[in-house]
Each structure stands twice: as C-alpha cells, then as structure tokens.
Chain A
Amino acid sequence: MNPGAATTVFPALSALLILPLAGALVALALSRDAASCRRLALGVSLAELALILALPLLNGPGPLHLAEDFAWISAMGARYHLGLDGLSYVLVLLTAVLQVLAVLVSWREVERSVGFYFFCLLASQASANGIFLARDLFLFALFWEFQLVPMFLLIGVFGHEEKRAAAAKFLIFSLAGGLAMLLAIAGLGLAQAGSTGLPNFSLAALLAQPVSPGLQLWLFTGFLLAVAVKVPILPLHTWLPDAHTQAPTAGSLILAGVLLKTGAYALIRLALPLFPAAAQAALPVLMFVGLLGLFYASWIALAQTDAKRLVAYSSIGHMSLVVLGAAAGSPLSLTGSMFQMLGHALSTGGLFLMVGMLSERAGSRELADFGGLWRTMPVFGAFFLFFCLAAAGLPGLCNFPGEFMIIVGTFKDHPAAGAAAFAGLVLTLVYVLRLAAAVIFGRPGKKARHPDMTFREVLILSGLTALILLLGLHPQPVLDLLTPAVTELLGAREGLP
C-alpha cells in the first residue's frame, strides 16, 4: 500500500492494541484482588508508554511511517490495515501518557469493582489506539463504535450521583452520530467497489479517488454528524457537560484528553480529505460554528456553579478552536489544530484531575463550597493556578503555540474570523479567572479544609506540569512530527493524490 512504509518483524502496531486489551482481560480475571489489579494496570500502561517511546526506533530514515497490512474479511473487502504517521504517533503517545495518569489518579478513588474498572480503562485505550491507527475504514468504524462501550460503563457504573442519565445521554448521542457515519462508510465503500464487486474500505485508495461531488455531500454529512457529536461541535455538544460532570476523574481525563480527540482526528484525517468538494462547501459553516462554539461555550462557562461543569464547557470552547483551525485549512492553522489537541488534553486534563482530587476530599464540586485553598492547601493552590494559566493560553505554556498558530493561520485568508478568535481568548481568561478566584482565593469556604496533596498526587501533577512547560517552551519536536502529516492531508484536500 504505502511503498515508503517500513514493514517490521515485530508487529509493533498490533502490540499497541493487544497489550492494553490483554491487560484489560487479565484485570477482569484478577478482579478479586484489587491491589494487584492496580499494579497490573499501572504496569501495562507504563509498558505501553515505553513501547510507544521506542517505536521511532523501528522507523527508517525520513518521516515516521509504520504500517501493518493483512487481508482480513476478504468477502467484505475489509483489510486489517494499521498505519502510523506523525499525527497518529502524537495522539497515541498522548493517550498513553494520559492512561498512566488515569491509572494513578484512580488508585484510591475507585474502591469497588476494581478489576472491572481497569478493564474499562484499558479497553478504552485499546479502542482509542485502534481509531488513531486504522487505515481501513471498516476497521476504523469498528474501533469507533467499540470505544463507546468502556466509556459508557465508566460513566454509568463508576460515575457520580446522576451517572445513569448522563451515560444514557452520552450513548444516545454517540450512537446516533456513529450510525450516520457507519452508513456513510458503507455507502462510500460500496460506491468505490472495484471490478471485483467487493466494497473498498482502504483509506489510501479512497483518498486517491474521491467520489462524485453529489454523493460527497451526503457522505460528508454522515461523517460530520459523528464528528460533531464527538468533538463536540455546536449544537450537538449538550451531552458533554453532563457526561463530564458525572464521570469519575479518570473518565473525565480520558473523555477530554482522548475521546474528544478521536472526533477531531476523524474530522482531520477522514472527513475533510475524503470528501474535498463537500468539505470545501462546508468550510465556511464549520468555521462559523467553530467561532460560535468558542464564544458560546466560554460565555456559558462563566455562569457555571459546578467546577467540573465549568471545565467541561471550557473544553467545548477549546475544541471549537481546533475545529476552526481544521476548517480554515492553511498549513499553519491545521498544524495549530493538531497541536492544540495536545495542549487542551494537558491543560484541561489537569483541571479535571484537580477538581476530581478536590471532590474526592470534599464530596462536592460546587464552587460556592470552596475558596481560600491558598491558605488551607497551598500546594493544591499553586498547581491549580498553573493549570488555569495554561488553560488561559499564556505564552510559554502548552496552549499558546497551538492557539497562536490556529489563529494566525486562519487570519491569513479570513482576517475577520482570526480577529474574532483572538477576542474570544479574552472570554477564556474571564471564566478561567473566575474559576481560580472561586476555588483558591477568597475566604476559605465551608468545605475548604482538607489535607494537602499526597505524594502520589504531586507526582501526577508534576508530570503534567513538566509536559505543559515542555510543549509551551519547546514544541518543535512535536511540530516536526506533525508537519509531514499536515502536508499530506492538505494535499489530499486539494484533490492531489
């Protein structure tokens, strides 16, 4: 398929899927022994991370490109085709980092059904990796649908007081979107059936030969529905605040850091390049909803009384910027969008973690119950302020390069949209400062007196802090990974093979 792709003796890409999946099954089998479940999950997550860090060693000279391609369901034309380029690598790496943090943060939070819990967590990693690696649309759809199960269970079983309603809402929205995409994939595969009469699901082949513009519009709409639910794009975002609020801490981390990213990834990797004509027509709309989402979500975030809900709305705002950058379609803005996915995962993930740590202690997420944590929990206060600043996009921290590239890249061809997006950053600062003021400043509220951070928590947060600074001050290694992917994807969007 890809002549440049390195073929390896060791099926490293499959290992990325199998390792967490096997870990998940073992965790289920071990479920009587909570302590060994935890250790197992941590070990598997660390091994996965190490494996991913070692992956570039398998690559020859030139841009990162690994692939595994086997015949699978020949009657369907579906192949087991995994591929890894810079974009996939960055997202798989992000998933692995967040996975380690998710396991660590669940160490004490989850007390019952520990084995089942880690089964869900590890299974969600396997499915996310599948989404980021699949180069066959059929395989992709399989992982896309599969991903819903562990997240649904994480929210519905391990969530907070209104978990069932939130999980149901998450599932209904996702299924509706997913079914639309499934139909579109089936339609696309059939429309591109070759002389053999078998449907064609190979991403490379489909990219090389777009379907007719009339059909594109329908198929693109199907993809867009699934993406819009998952990213989420206005007005299909309303499941997200509920899901985030009710999810356990690690669930929120994975939801914001990984699941939303699969949506943006599908937009960038599939929806826009597969249907260039339809995408071209839809770009103004996408840019508009991206901008609207930034303002709308940031504005609403200000009014929230529940800390987690506030962070959830901020998540929508940040992801809207990713949509804007992807839609604007300049190399700079697209690179920025990809980078912003990482920045958002770290800064928002950090805030979710900290709100989780707080609610674990206080049994409350209400802003009114807190305040004054500078006095009562100084280490907590310092980290919290840091993540707030990262979320506000201060230069030197992880969100700045992405946001700056997105907006400058948008500005070139759409100055009004770019200027508006810059103005949107003020709204971000407004709610971020409200969050900081309500949680850590002021007089200590009635639920503000708790023990400060434990060693384990400091370890988690220090890791995130280091990554936030690294991405903010030295983003070049990541950008170097992304640049070839950007060139290739934009080439496809302009109709070049």
Chain B
Amino acid sequence: MTAPVLTLLCPLAGAAVLALAGRHLPRRVAEVVAVAVVLAGFVAACAAWAGFDGQSRILHLASWFSVGHLAPSFSLKLDALSLLMALMVSGVSALIHFYSVAYMRRDQGFVRYFCYLNLFVFSMQTIVMADDLVFLFLGWEGVGFCSFALIGFWSEDAANVAAGRKAFILTRIGDVAYLVALALIVTSLASTSLTELNARAGLLAPDMVTLLGLLFLFAACGKSAQLPLLVWLPDAMAAPTPVSALIHAATMVTAGVYLLMRLAPMISLSPAAMLAIAAIGALTAFFAACAALAQHDVKRVLAWSTVSQVGYMFLGLGAGDLTGSFFHLLVHAFFKSLLFLGAGCMITAMHDDHDIFRMGARLRRHAPGVFAAMVMGACALGGVPPAGGFFSKGRILFAAFTAPGLAERLLWVLATAAALLTVLYAFRLVFVAFFGQPAGQGGPEALAPVPKLMLAMLWPLALLALAGGALNLPGEAPWSGWLGHVLAGVPGVAALPEDNEALVSALDALISLAGLLLAWRLWGPKNLMDWRRPAALAPRVHAFFLSGWKLDALYLAAVARPYQALALWLWRDVDGRGLDGLALGAANLAGNASRSLRRLATGRVTATLVMFALGLALILLIFSVRAA
C-alpha cells in the first residue's frame, strides 16, 4: 500500500527540494530532480495498479485536526477509478516534464517552473486519490494556485498575471459552492469522507441531495471551465505551452468532472441534478465548439476545444454513463496533450507566433513529424474512426441518446451538432496551419528548428490517442469493454442498454467524415473558396464567436468593473468622508460624556484610573501643540 503514497509524495518532495535548494543547484541537476520525482511517481502508480486486486480500500495516512464532529483526515480512496486516473495523471505528467526540459531550455526561471509543476502534480494526485473532502479541497486549491502561478509564469507581462488572477478568482467562485456543500455535509452527516457520504446519501432528504449535487456541479464548473464560469480558460493560454497541455487540457480541467464521478452514487439519486449536469455539459460543448471555430491563435482553438470536450464528459456523466465519461476523459487527456505539445512545436518553429493563418505549407515541409502528429490528434479530437475519440465520444453520444426523457434527447441533438463543429474546427486548424499559403501575411522569414526531445514526446501520446479506443471497444469480443469491466466495482457505474448502438455509431462516423470533407472544401489547399471567406461572409458573427459569445465582456462590464469602481467609492466616500468623520465626532462626544460621568463613579482608584487616561490625553495635547 506504499505505492499510492509514493505517487502522491514523490512530486511533493521534488517541489520542496526545488523550493528550498533549487537556486543553488546546477540547471541540469534541478531538471533531473524535477523529472525524476514525477517519473518515480509514475512508476509507483504503475506498481499500485499492478498490485490492485479489485478491492476498494481507504488508506488513512494521518488525521488533520479534530474538533467535535469535524475531523478531517489525510486519507486516500484507492479503487479502480482513482488508481487509473492516478496512472494517467502521472504518465502524462512525466511526458510533459520531459518535454518541458526542452521547451524551457532558454528560460531563466526554470527552477520556479519545475517547482510549480511538481507541486501541481502533487495537488492533482491529491484530488485524484483523496477520500476526505477537506483533504481533497487542499489539492483542489493547490491546483488552483499552481494554475494561477503558471499562467502568470512570465510575470513581467501584466496581461499574463491578469489572466492568472482571473483563473484563480473564477475557480474560487466555484469553490464557494464546494465549501457550502462541505458545510452542509458536516452538519448533516458529521463526516467529511467521500465514501461515507456516498454510502449514507440515501438517508439524506431528496432535496438535500439535489442541492448538494447542484453545489458540487457549480464547483466543478469553475475548475472544469464550464458554463457559466468558463471564461478563464482561453486567457489561461498565456501559460507556457507544456503547462497548457498538462494543467489546462489533460488534468486540472478534468478535476471538476472527476469530482462529480467520485460523487456519482450520491448525485445519481437526484434526477434533477443529473439533468443539470448533462445540460451544462451539452450546452458548453456546443457553445465552446462555436467559439473554437473562429479562433486564429492555435492555443485558443485548443483551449475552446478543451472546454467543449469536457462538456461531453459532463454530458456523459449526467446521462448516467460514468464509464463513458471516464473513457472520454482518458482519451481526451491523450489527444489533447498531444495537440498542445504539437502546438508547442509549431510555436517554437514559428518563433513564438501563435497565429495559424501565418503558418501554412512551409511549416508542414519544415516539420513533417509535427504535421503527422497534429493530423493524428485532429482525427482523435474530431472522432474520425478508428481514432480514440470516435469510440469515446461515440459512447457519450450513445448514452445521451439512450437516456430516458425528452430533455436528454434534445441534449443529444445539441451534442451531435457540436460533434460536427468539432471535426470542422479540428481540421480547419490542420488545413490552415499546414496547407495555407500565407503570402504577405507577415510571420518569420526562416523557421526555427524543433528540439528532438520535444518531438520524441509526441509519439507515445499519438499512439495512445489513436489506439485509445481499445480501452473500451464496443461489441462482444473478448477484448471489448475493458474499461467497463475494470470500473464495474466502482460505485455509481451503470451499464448501458445496447439496442441502436450500431445506428448511433454509424451516424457519428458519418458526421465526422462529412465534417472532414467539408473542412477540406472550406480550408483545404485546393478549395474553391478563399481561405478567409467563411469568416468574411459574416464578420460580425465571426467576431461574436471569436470573443466567446461576448461572455467575457459581459462579466467585465457587469461585475468586474463595477466591483472596482465601488471599491473606490466605498473607500473615499463611505469610509473616509462618512464613517471616519462620524466616528471621530462620536469619539469626541463619548470623551466629553465620560468626563461628566466621572463624578458619578465612586471609588477613589477608579477615579485615579480615569485621571490616568486623561493624563494620556494631555500628553497627546502636548504632542499636537508641538506639532503645530
């Protein structure tokens, strides 16, 4: 049972070493420490998985504090869900740490970078494995801080820091719901254990369960960048690209949906909360897919795409299919980190230019490997059979299709439309960035070489993205449905009915192929239309989606700016002119009053004390006279 603990603590040890001694270590040593601890965590996670006997366990490490009924502890829940998730997190983290060594090779702040990155892995594994909801919250806030610090990593640019603050504050708004839910749980169950909560959820009033479900949903919306709290993620792309791959694609943004998966046994008792999860997911999937279609910045395309794909995970979970949702979570982690790491290579080649319209065919000729990897990633993202995304997204669409109720059916329609948009923006990215002819569009003269280490990290992810479907193939074959079998013992997992599955899958395949052809026609090299045409046809629509449905501007105008303006008003007018003046007057009055009351108080020493106080006032008077 030590292996899961090592998975958790190795990255923490690395962060501690780097924080305390990193400045005095040679660069290579610091890099080795940072990568080695994460690699060790991955090995430990593999060992934990290999030694897992299918039996869910709670590992109590230490108690945190204990007052009355509130007794949070450092305890882990080890079952198929958490161990698989830990395996994915540590594996992807290890690849991205390697990649970072090359990506950050010229940056002076590498110690700080790797310290945050190690701390992030620790915090994320805490979320993954914690059984205690307060302990989980430690990881939950920890990833929020690391995300803030890494988004604003290049802190000399105020815009980066502002993006980090925005991310931290918006996720913290979601956390209010988490804490309120936690307070409700403590007061009604006198426990903070996830397992206890799930086991005793049946004893709670149905309205209470719904309320808890909705509160946790809101918290998850913050972390996972879903409606209405999603506006921070596109700005978070100010972070170094490996960070975007790790934190803002593969792991932290899925923490919200993972939390809901952990709570599935409780939440599934409330049909209203389940429907809300599904609805948020489908709406966000569609909302973000529209926005992704309009972006020019390669990282922003991928950011909106992440928001959209996490929306699918919410939809799957809300439709009652935890397996499908988790399936998509894993496959998405592979293909999205592949796409981000590929984007990092593209950006490196382009001397830090992010605009896909300035890249074009020369980038394909310059870095054919990156091109190949991006095509594979786009296939997986767009759900082109037989890439991984086809199976995982298909499973979620099927779950939404089979769920009872008209509302779910409508959500299925919305999500299917979003699937068409997905394949469109995925291949728009590929075609524009690798086949375009950006003559006269600016951009660098000569492209920069891409470090081999960065390229090397693409291939394991590409393999996982393409073959990820094998985790849970449909059908009756012996190798089918592996993930479903593994997760069968996890509470909250339900099986899907199987009729019409072939029909829905065929529809998905048709949509992705049709989308691919349409993208080729719109943005391909031999297209009949000018590459700028789709945007030029409706510039205002394009601008609307480019800005993310103007949601960010709305929040800025309705909340952020008034909040700041009111702060100034409160300070200058209410606190300064109002209260301060009033209170000074009142204090003077009270002073006068007590001077006259003094005569009423008997007791010589009391009077002496008053004199003592008045004596002080005299000192003060002398001071003010001397000052004047």
- Asked if chains A and B come from one complex, the reply is yes
Please list the residues of chain A having a beta carbon within 8 angstroms of any beta carbon in chain B: 73, 76, 78, 138, 141-142, 145, 148-149, 152, 156, 164, 167-169, 171-173, 175-180, 182-183, 186, 190, 199, 225, 234-239, 296, 299-300, 302-304, 331-332, 335, 372, 374-375, 378, 382, 385, 389, 394-396, 401, 404-405, 407-408, 411-412, 415, 418-419, 422-423, 425-426, 429-430, 433-434, 437, 440-443, 473-476, 479, 483
Chain B CB within 10 A, most for which of A145, A419, A441, A443:
A441
> Can you sample 22 A-B contacts with CB below 8 Å?
A152-B616, A175-B616, A179-B610, A182-B606, A182-B609, A225-B590, A238-B584, A296-B575, A303-B567, A303-B571, A304-B571, A332-B69, A335-B67, A395-B134, A396-B138, A405-B70, A418-B183, A422-B180, A426-B172, A433-B168, A441-B158, A474-B65
With the chains together, A61 CA to B616 CA distance in Å?
45
- Excluding A396-B142, A411-B180, A437-B161, 16 further A-B contacts by CB distance (< 8 Å) are A152-B619, A175-B617, A176-B587, A176-B594, A183-B594, A190-B602, A302-B567, A303-B570, A372-B155, A404-B134, A407-B179, A422-B179, A429-B172, A441-B156, A476-B66, A479-B65
Given known A236-B583, A394-B145, A425-B172, contact A300–B571 (CB-CB < 8 A): yes
Which partner residue on chain B sits nearest A229 by CB separation? B587
On chain B, the residues within 8 Å of A385 by CB distance are 149
Is the beta-carbon distance between B570 and A238 smaller than 8 angstroms? Answer: no
Task: Give the Cβ gap from A144 to chain B, nearest Cβ, in Å.
Answer: 10
Which partner residue on chain A sits nearest B579 by CB separation? A235
Is the beta-carbon distance between A168 and B620 smaller than 8 angstroms? Answer: yes
Is the beta-carbon distance between A183 and B587 smaller than 8 angstroms? Answer: no
Interface residues of B in 558-579 (CB under 8 A from A): 563-564, 566-568, 570-572, 575, 579
Partner of B183 from the list A407, A476, A479 (CB cut-off 8 Å) is A407
* B528 part of interface (Cβ distance < 8 Å): no
Which partner residue on chain B sits nearest A442 by CB separation? B158
On chain A, the residues within 8 Å of B605 by CB distance are 73, 76, 78, 138
Is the beta-carbon distance between A331 and B575 smaller than 8 angstroms? Answer: no
Given known A389-B145, A396-B142, contact A375–B156 (CB-CB < 8 A): yes
Please list the residues of chain B having a beta carbon within 8 angstroms of any beta carbon in chain A: 19, 23, 63-70, 134, 137-138, 141-142, 145, 148-149, 152, 155-156, 158, 161-162, 165, 168-169, 172-173, 176, 179-180, 182-184, 186-187, 563-564, 566-568, 570-572, 575, 579-580, 582-584, 586-588, 590-591, 594, 597, 601-603, 605-606, 609-610, 612-613, 616-617, 619-620, 623-624, 627
Is the beta-carbon distance between B156 and A442 smaller than 8 angstroms? Answer: yes
Partner of A299 from the list B142, B152, B155, B566 (CB cut-off 8 Å) is B566
Task: Give the Cβ gap from B568 to chain A, nearest Cβ, in Å.
Answer: 4
Which partner residue on chain A sits nearest B564 by CB separation? A302
On chain B, the residues within 8 Å of A199 by CB distance are 603
With the chains together, A296 CA to B68 CA distance in Å?
31
On chain B, the residues within 8 Å of A225 by CB distance are 590
Is the beta-carbon distance between B67 and A479 smaller than 8 angstroms? Answer: yes
With the chains together, A382 CA to B605 CA distance in Å?
53
With the chains together, A179 CA to B600 CA distance in Å?
13
Is the beta-carbon distance between B568 and A172 smaller than 8 angstroms? Answer: no
Is the beta-carbon distance between A331 and B67 smaller than 8 angstroms? Answer: yes
On chain A, the residues within 8 Å of B567 by CB distance are 299-300, 302-303
With the chains together, A138 CA to B603 CA distance in Å?
12
Is the beta-carbon distance between A175 and B603 smaller than 8 angstroms? Answer: no
On chain B, the residues within 8 Å of A412 by CB distance are 187
Partner of A395 from the list B138, B176, B583 (CB cut-off 8 Å) is B138
On chain A, the residues within 8 Å of B603 by CB distance are 76, 186, 190, 199
Which partner residue on chain B sits nearest A401 by CB separation? B65
Is the beta-carbon distance between B156 and A372 smaller than 8 angstroms? Answer: yes
Which partner residue on chain A sits nearest B135 by CB separation? A395
Chain B CB within 10 A, most for which of A148, A172, A474:
A172
Is the beta-carbon distance between A429 and B168 smaller than 8 angstroms? Answer: yes
Is the beta-carbon distance between A167 and B623 smaller than 8 angstroms? Answer: yes
With the chains together, A430 CA to B168 CA distance in Å?
9
Partner of A186 from the list B23, B66, B69, B606 (CB cut-off 8 Å) is B606
On chain A, the residues within 8 Å of B168 by CB distance are 429, 433
Task: Give the Cβ gap from B454 to chain A, nearest Cβ, in Å.
Answer: 26
Is the beta-carbon distance between B169 and A441 smaller than 8 angstroms? Answer: no
With the chains together, A405 CA to B68 CA distance in Å?
10
On chain B, the residues within 8 Å of A419 by CB distance are 176, 180, 183
Task: Give the Cβ gap from A487 to chain B, nearest Cβ, in Å.
Answer: 11
On chain A, the residues within 8 Å of B142 by CB distance are 394-396
On chain A, the residues within 8 Å of B149 by CB distance are 385
Is the beta-carbon distance between B568 and A142 smaller than 8 angstroms? Answer: no
With the chains together, A476 CA to B67 CA distance in Å?
9
Which partner residue on chain A sits nearest B588 by CB separation? A172
Task: Give the Cβ gap from A82 to chain B, nearest Cβ, in Å.
Answer: 19
Partner of B155 from the list A396, A442, A483 (CB cut-off 8 Å) is A442
On chain A, the residues within 8 Å of B587 by CB distance are 172-173, 176
Given known A395-B141, A407-B183, contact A171–B620 (CB-CB < 8 A): yes
On chain B, the residues within 8 Å of A407 by CB distance are 179, 183
On chain B, the residues within 8 Å of A239 by CB distance are 583
With the chains together, A171 CA to B606 CA distance in Å?
19
Which partner residue on chain A sits nearest B183 by CB separation? A411
Is the beta-carbon distance between A408 and B186 smaller than 8 angstroms? Answer: yes
With the chains together, A190 CA to B603 CA distance in Å?
9
Task: Give the Cβ gap from A147 to chain B, nearest Cβ, in Å.
Answer: 11
Task: Give the Cβ gap from A17 to chain B, nearest Cβ, in Å.
Answer: 18
On chain B, the residues within 8 Å of A179 by CB distance are 590-591, 594, 610, 613
With the chains together, A148 CA to B616 CA distance in Å?
9
With the chains together, A149 CA to B616 CA distance in Å?
7
With the chains together, A303 CA to B172 CA distance in Å?
20
Is the beta-carbon distance between A411 and B187 smaller than 8 angstroms? Answer: yes
On chain A, the residues within 8 Å of B590 by CB distance are 176-177, 179-180, 225
